[in-house]
Amino acid sequence: MHYKSTLHNSHYGDAYPYIAEVPLFGHSENHSMIQIADFICSALLFPMASYVYCTNFIQNVHVTQKDKEIQNDFIDRIKGISYRYWLRDKMRGGIVVVDAISKRSSTLMLKKTTVMYEGIEKVKAEVSLLSTTVDTPEVISSV
């Protein structure tokens, strides 16, 4: 927020003349929209991206099978609110991913994949990443 405030009150002029005030989490006319964007990123996009792009590279609490369920449950709604447009014969905007390891695009995160369950306490997932199928190890659920 400091960056936006600095640009808004710059010595060289206001970089955001059409925004009535700088969005802050204290008192702001833009408060609710910032919270909605923060919720979408924290609760939906981060878990989806961490599962799709970090599976088989990172093994910790931030990459779980349940994140795949979030992707399958919410991906259609996320696509619906994403603004995409054509510019110079290339699709732009929407959700942008920079995959520094495997160089995969954001379209991988926007596809539903199969999630299979075996039993109540064991979870097994089959995830299609590009042209390969990855079987994640069985995980004992805490449910």
pLDDT per position as a tens digit, 69-117 = 888 889 889 888 888 889 999 888 888 888 888 888 888 888 877 665 4
Task: Report the first-to-last Cα separation within the chain, whole angstroms.
Answer: 39
Residue 105 lies in domain: 2-140
Q: Which residues contact 55 (CB under 8 A, 6 or more apart)?
A: 63, 127, 129, 134, 136
Whether residue 46 is predicted with pLDDT greater than 50 in this model: the reply is: yes
Average pLDDT of the segment spanning 5-30: 67
Strands (E), the chain: 84-87, 90-93, 115-118, 122-129, 132-135, 139-140
Query: Do residues 110 and 53 make contact, with C-beta atoms less than 8 angstroms apart?
Result: no
What is the chain's Cα-based Rg? 19
pLDDT at 16 over 80: no
The total of structural domains in the chain comes to 1
pLDDT category at 141 given cuts 50, 70, 90 is: very low
* Assigned token pair, 137: 């190890």
Residue 6 or 65, more confident: 65
